[in-house]
Structure 1
């Protein structure tokens, strides 16, 4: 049986930015309740009182405050080293039978130069390569016969070390990416391991992106 509390919670959870704002207590609950009521009444099939919606929102915000502030923020305060690199190029190629051999050639060629940034990931149909722009001519030559889907230059990477608690705490990445989205920062790529993740952004916004992530440690 649907209740006011259940439909209010479902309404909020389907709107990520609203969910976060509610958890931070920066929304006027009376105004929000008034805005929600037509949709809630349609969902329940009956008239409801605004006060009941406000009370449901208050209980939900208190619950969210516990779940987010006491779990996620604990992990975010444990963020470790943040490393920034600039002058990167992001290549995307279609998967092929010869692609791995090209990867091997590229790795062999750049291994002797520790200053060169290289990382890659493989999906079902596409392979991604991110390298220092200084080796673009080498990549262009080695992968000349491969189908290139995308090539984006003038990128920077931000690599973040996360505490071990991150793998058992839901919502960590969501919370970080939400803050970046609030600032209008477009993320070109995300590369992650168990305790580390890297985002690629335009060099124009890397300073702002770095500040957003760094400030998470002071929540």
Structure 2
């Protein structure tokens, strides 16, 4: 049978910002209990007193705070070079039998120094390239179904240490920082040891600053 404590845990694990604030003791337990009262009452299908919720909140033990993992802190303080590339265009195409062929043709002819990223999903594929190659892409993919195109983008690329795949919480810390700073990500491109985010031109300075703050 579900208890008040079960409901509290279910709510907190789906709201990591709230869970972290609670673990840092920067939330008023009484105010939070009142905020959760109606939700928990509905979950249990019976009235619940705020005192019971407060007790459950005080007894809640969140998972080990990833911010204090020595390995995670070490990686965040020693992130690799940050590279910014501007004047990029993002294309999205529906997958087809000819899309990869057109992609290979582009790779054979573009300047190797331009920014180029390609990823294929189940139903659509994404291509990010320097805007100087925009007309080239439109020509090569003219028979494909393009669902979206966005200009005026910048890519911020971050080199990651080779052991980054063994560190839980690394990507959480990166995305959390962007969320706290109110930065919308247009696209995410990731390889094993490199992580890139695409943002609109007006947000690039703020996004770059957010990444620099990760080591603090």
| Superposition TM-score, scaled by structure 1 size | 0.85
CA drift of 1:193 comes to 1.7
Q: Secondary structure at the match of 1:153?
A: strand
Distance in 2 of aligned mates of 1:204 and 1:52:
47
Q: Which residue of 2 is the match for residue 184 of structure 1?
A: 182
Q: Is the 8 A contact 2:92 2:146 kept in 1?
A: yes
Q: Which residue of 2 is the match for residue 210 of structure 1?
A: 208
Q: Which residue of 1 is the match for residue 173 of structure 2?
A: 175
Cα offsets for 1:173-216 (capped at 9, x unmatched):
23322321233222111111222211111011011011112101
Distance in 2 of aligned mates of 1:125 and 1:13:
31
Structure 2 spans left out of the alignment, 5+ residues: none
Distance in 1 of aligned mates of 2:21 and 2:208:
22
Distance in 2 of aligned mates of 1:104 and 1:147:
17
Distance in 2 of aligned mates of 1:122 and 1:99:
10
Identify if the C-alpha distance between structure 1 residues 94 and 216 changes in structure 2 by more than 3 Å, giving closer, same or farther.
same
Aligned residues: 214
Distance in 2 of aligned mates of 1:45 and 1:125:
41
Q: Secondary structure at the match of 1:138?
A: helix
Q: Secondary structure at the match of 1:187?
A: coil
Deviates more, 1:190-199 or 1:157-166: 157-166
Q: Which residue of 2 is the match for residue 4 of structure 1?
A: 4
Cα offsets for 1:2-50 (capped at 9, x unmatched):
2332221111122343233334433222211122123223434555554
Q: Which residue of 1 is the match for residue 133 of structure 2?
A: 135
Q: Is the 8 A contact 1:75 1:165 kept in 2?
A: no
Counting only pairs closer than 5 Å after superposition, residues 87-102 of structure 1 correspond to structure 2 as 87-102=87-102
Identify if the C-alpha distance between structure 1 residues 23 and 85 changes in structure 2 by more than 3 Å, giving closer, same or farther.
farther
**What is the RMSD of the two structures over their aligned residues, measured on CA atoms?**
2.3
| Superposition TM-score, scaled by structure 2 size | 0.86
Distance in 2 of aligned mates of 1:46 and 1:38:
10
Q: Secondary structure at the match of 1:128?
A: strand
Q: Secondary structure at the match of 2:62?
A: helix
CA drift of 1:170 comes to 3.6
Identify if the C-alpha distance between structure 1 residues 35 and 74 changes in structure 2 by more than 3 Å, giving closer, same or farther.
farther
Distance in 1 of aligned mates of 2:118 and 2:154:
15
Identify if the C-alpha distance between structure 1 residues 74 and 35 changes in structure 2 by more than 3 Å, giving closer, same or farther.
farther
